[in-house]
Amino acid sequence: MTTSRTAKRRRGPGRPPADAPLPGLDEILQRGLEAFAELGYEAVSVRQLNERLGMGHTFIHDRYGTKEAFWRAAMEHAIRQVTDEVAAALGKEPPGDDLAGLIASVRAFHQANARRPHLNRVMNYEAGRDSPRLNYLFTLMSPLNDAGRPVFDRLVREGTLRDIPWYLFHFAVTKPLTMYGQTPLARLFGRPDDADDHALLSTVVLRGLLT
């Protein structure tokens, strides 16, 4: 018994107990995303990250090298999940039906982001700063943007979508999602924490975009 207590006292700083279950990669990256969203990239330290991950105090250094590399891994993981969900929704629609594809992709995009408020908070934070991190996020989003732009152009030409610039379409679709990242403010306005309102949000957005 004495030996066990001594071993626990001598455990290194930031190192979880020997019998603690280690999180998997998905959970590690999710915990990292949450830490960056809640504390901010500049403010959070590698030590804090390791503690939030429940790993040893050298985990990020050993596995990723730097805080920036870990940040990139967490962002890539989160954005890939959103992209995969949008792609899956598009795959269920008839090929060549641009309108059905647009509606499905907007709804899937809103649903995916509603489940990931921490990603939205990071995106909002980085979007207001001209930095290499913003450029990296834009690169991660490029496949989704590149797939949607031709559909947008065709629907505008045929008069189904309002004739607006592509950038305005982007912000009309994405900026309402701040509601999910600004949970305390939304709560003050009366939004329940368990509100299931992404479908309604998509309907409101689409009605403003479609002619």
38 assigned to some structural domain: no
DSSP H or E stretch at residue 25 = helix 25-39
| Main-chain dihedrals φ then ψ at residue 189, nearest 5 degrees | -80, -5
pLDDT at 91: 87
CA torsion angle 44 48 49 53 (round to 10): -150
151 assigned to some structural domain: yes
16 assigned to some structural domain: no
Please return the burial class of 76, using the count of CB atoms within 10 Å of its CB with bins 0-12, 13-18 and 19+: middle
Residue numbers of the domain that contains 125: 72-209
120 assigned to some structural domain: yes
Query: What's the residue count for the chain?
Result: 211
Rounded-to-integer distance, Cα 97 and Cα 198, Å: 23
129 assigned to some structural domain: yes
Rounded-to-integer distance, Cα 17 and Cα 195, Å: 37
Q: Which of 2, 194, 55, 94 is nearest to 102 (CA)?
A: 94
| Total domains, the chain | 1
Amino acid at 110: H
9 assigned to some structural domain: no
3 assigned to some structural domain: no
Give 161's DSSP letter: B
Rounded-to-integer distance, Cα 38 and Cα 182, Å: 11
Rounded-to-integer distance, Cα 83 and Cα 95, Å: 18
pLDDT at 56: 86
CATH of the domain at 89: 1.10.357
Rounded-to-integer distance, Cα 36 and Cα 120, Å: 11
Lookup: tokens for 76: 């890539």
161 assigned to some structural domain: yes
Q: What is the pTM of this model?
A: 0.85
pLDDT at 1: 40
User: What are the pLDDT tens digits along the chain (211 aa)?
Assistant: 433 343 333 344 444 455 556 789 999 999 999 999 999 999 999 999 999 998 888 999 999 999 999 999 999 999 999 999 999 998 898 988 999 999 999 999 999 999 999 999 999 999 999 999 999 999 999 999 999 999 999 999 999 999 999 999 999 999 999 999 899 999 999 999 899 999 999 999 999 999 9
* Dihedral sign (CA 198, 147, 135, 34): positive
Token look-up 């450029």 returns 135
pLDDT at 208: 95
If you count DSSP H runs as helices and E runs as strands, how many of each does the chain have, helices first? Answer: 12, 0
pLDDT at 12: 43
pLDDT at 23: 83
